[in-house]
A and B are shown apart, each in its own frame.
Chain A
Amino acid sequence: AAGVIQSPRHLIKEKRETATLKCYPIPRHDTVYWYQQGPGQDPQFLISFYEKMQSDKGSIPDRFSAQQFSDYHSELNMSSLELGDSALYFCASSLDWGSGELFFGEGSRLTVL
């Protein structure tokens, strides 16, 4: 069965650079969520999209932005990277706005040097 696909899996950037992460949800899933997970931490909700519209916003820094495209894939753009942005970034998708289950991708590991 198709899963959530994230790219790239690993990314190394310098401070103040920009990074873009991509997420391809499970086919027919209409909601995408982005989470940030620091080492030994729980996943922190960043932002979500339902039917290509932002549906909720969590602890996402102003330096970050995201969008969901017409094919339902989503991109998380991170600018002016800081050392503290180093983390695993997970994308999750769900079917229907009311579904409780999140299907997570394998994550994109961002390292900021």
Chain B
Amino acid sequence: QQQVKQSPQSLIVQKGGISIINCAYENTAFDYFPWYQQFPGKGPALLIAIRPDVSEKKEGRFTISFNKSAKQFSLHIMDSQPGDSATYFCAARVVNTGGFKTIFGAGTRLFVKA
């Protein structure tokens, strides 16, 4: 019940196109949904995040759409650029008895063709 399911596993997009990555969850106790971007050999870095009381958040070319009733959220990358080529992880945070835990999706490898 603490899983976060992410799709697709990999994605190839033309430069200037829209990249869409989807995630779904079951646990309604999740209270924070971040997206992390990871380049090879580097640690994940926070890209954008949303809380469940908001349906959409936009930061530059990156937008999170959140559907609370469907327990789904997605990342849209507009005007995708070759520099966006990286692995993207959706995540969800839950409060346990001991504290907060962030659960990651399996990741999506994005490749933007020049």
Contacts and interface: CB of A to CB of B under 8 A. Distances in A.
A50 B106 CA distance: 26
Interface residues of A, number: 27
Given A104-B44, A106-B43, A45 B99 contact: no
Contact of B104 (A43, A105, A106): A43
Given A42-B106, A97-B99, A90 B93 contact: no
A107 interface: yes
Contacts, number: 67
B102 interface: yes
Interface residues of B, number: 23
B43 A42 contact: no
Interface of A: 4, 31, 33, 41-45, 48, 50, 54-58, 90, 92, 97-98, 100-107
A31 B46 CA distance: 16
Contacts of A101: 34, 46, 49
Interface of B: 32, 34, 36, 41-46, 49, 89, 93, 96, 98-107
Could you say which of B44, B49, B93, B105 has the most chain A C-beta atoms within 10 Å of its C-beta? B44
